[in-house]
Amino acid sequence: MATGTADFVVIANRLPVDRVTAPNGDTLWRTSPGGLVTALEPVMKSNGGAWIGWHGAADEKVKPFDHNGMHLVPVPLSNDEVEEYYEGFSNATLWPLYHDVVAPPEFHREWWDAYVRVNRRFAEKAATVANEGAVVWVQDYQLQLVPTMLRELRPDLRIGFFLHIPFPPTELFQQLPWRREILEGLLGADLVGFQMPGAAQNFVRLVRQRVGHKTHRDMIYLPDGRTVLAKAYPISIDAAGFEELARTPEVIARAAEIRESLGNPRTILLGIDRLDYTKGLRQRLRAFGELISEGSVHVDDAVFVQVATPSRERVQQYKLLRDDINRLVGRINGDVGRIGQQPVTYLHASYPRQEMAALYRAADVMVVTPLRDGMNLVAKEYVACRYDDQGALVLSEFAGAASELKSAYQVNPHDINGMKSMMLAAINASPRENGRRMKAMRKQVMENDIELWANNFLEELTSDRELHEKNPRPV
Ligand code: G6P
């Protein structure tokens, strides 16, 4: 059997680096700010690890290269594949379908064909990179067919899969014309990880109903004798890293500067999201606008800063959302603003981690109101930065984080009145009340960081499955 050199392989749609151009014109790669790479970097370094992913540009072949002790293996995508596999099937079919169809998913056969083709390319690449018996960890909804494709090529590998987004209720998943193929694709893994226990249960139920395999609790029994474990591993952040950053004099000074430039209002509310229709931006801005127009909050007293990071800009639903939010912000500021007093400061841009930490430090109320979200790491980042035990978190009950951050001001983002009263409660809470809530949330976030998450997953993946003995095969 032809094998490669890496004992640990991560496969994700994107490589963990961004390409930047230095002042002298040289092209450099910079590690992307995400938590996943922070957690996996040490494992990669100590295992001669490799990361397989798309480097972000269409119609371009980039040779494998080493970066920060990691071996990076770019997978090329043609322009058509970016449209059909990435923007199409991944982000206009699966993304809305898996997020409670908050936007209508589109089903196109040619998008599916591209998804199959590109998944095969990732699997073939992994088959050449992985050493005999290596551990391979496949990430997220863009690559759900890779586990089985890879197992067919390399049965010697230990394969894990983690879904970073929600797995939908069975009734919604059934809409997918290729539902069986997706389930069978995932079953190539030894361990399939989800954010929430309910998602793992949905998956197991679907496998039983649609594929007909026997299951017992979180275990799936395949006819060839193999077993697949489906379990929840709620993801987290580099909590200590965020706290450390928030404590730096630069961030503290920048937070003060932000407050100053907003006119030192009594309350700063903050939203930071990718500009995505799952995030509930419209609902939260409407709620805030109404609080001001009804006089529950005075325009001199509060500012809402909304950072919306540009995302998937060529996908139709994202274009519509962008126009929609532009109009809504314009309307609120036009209706209730005064000269020098814009109630909403809207920034359609992405910022480095340091600026985010300063914004978190400056914000009295963090507003995180997705209509559906696998976890939501912004909520956890805010908590990690509030080492002063102050600040309030308004959090949608439809974010995975809600089951961990129980002391947040939890809201149903579809209920505008309910959201208004919770935002008002957060704005008017005493420091004592906020301190009590924040302390409880900080205990959760600081004790359950991304390193623990990665270790838990990898330990289960590489264990000898004594679990099999505990859960014997049903007859
Ligand atoms: C979500 C997904 C990730 C994805 C990220 C950014 O967090 O779970 O897989 O990488 O969004 O989206 P993008 O389409 O820019 O990769």
Catalytic residue among 55, 71, 99, 164: 164
What's the CA-to-centroid distance between 462 and ligand 1, angstroms? Answer: 26
- Asked if residue 475 has pLDDT above 60, the reply is no
Is residue 138 within 8 Å of residue 160, measured between CB atoms?
Answer: yes
The pLDDT of residue 465: 64
Give residue 273's pLDDT band: very low, low, confident or very high (50, 70, 90): very high
* Section 450-464 average pLDDT: 95
The pLDDT of residue 470: 47
pLDDT per position as a tens digit, 124-160: 999 999 999 999 999 999 999 999 999 999 999 999 9
pLDDT per position as a tens digit, 54-84: 999 999 999 999 998 899 999 999 999 999 9
Which domains does the chain show, CATH number per domain? 6-235+453-470 (3.40.50.2000), 239-447 (3.40.50.2000)
Q: Is 386 in the pocket of ligand 1 (CB under 6 A)?
A: no
Please provide the average confidence, as pLDDT, over all residues in the chain. 95
Give residue 44's pLDDT band: very low, low, confident or very high (50, 70, 90): confident
Residue closest by Cα to atom 10 of ligand 1? 14
For 216-252, b where at least 16 C-beta lie within 10 A, e where not — what string? Answer: eebbbbeeeeebbbbbbbbbbbbbebbbebbeeeebe
Residue 164 catalytic? yes
Residue type, 417: N
pLDDT per position as a tens digit, 83-109: 999 999 999 999 999 999 999 999 999
Query: Left, alpha or beta for 391 (phi > 0: left; psi -120 to 50: alpha)?
Result: left
The pLDDT of residue 2: 57
The pLDDT of residue 4: 87
Q: Is 164 in the pocket of ligand 1 (CB under 6 A)?
A: yes
pTM (2 decimals)? Answer: 0.96
- Asked if residue 275 has pLDDT above 60, the reply is yes
What's the CA-to-centroid distance between 334 and ligand 1, angstroms? Answer: 34
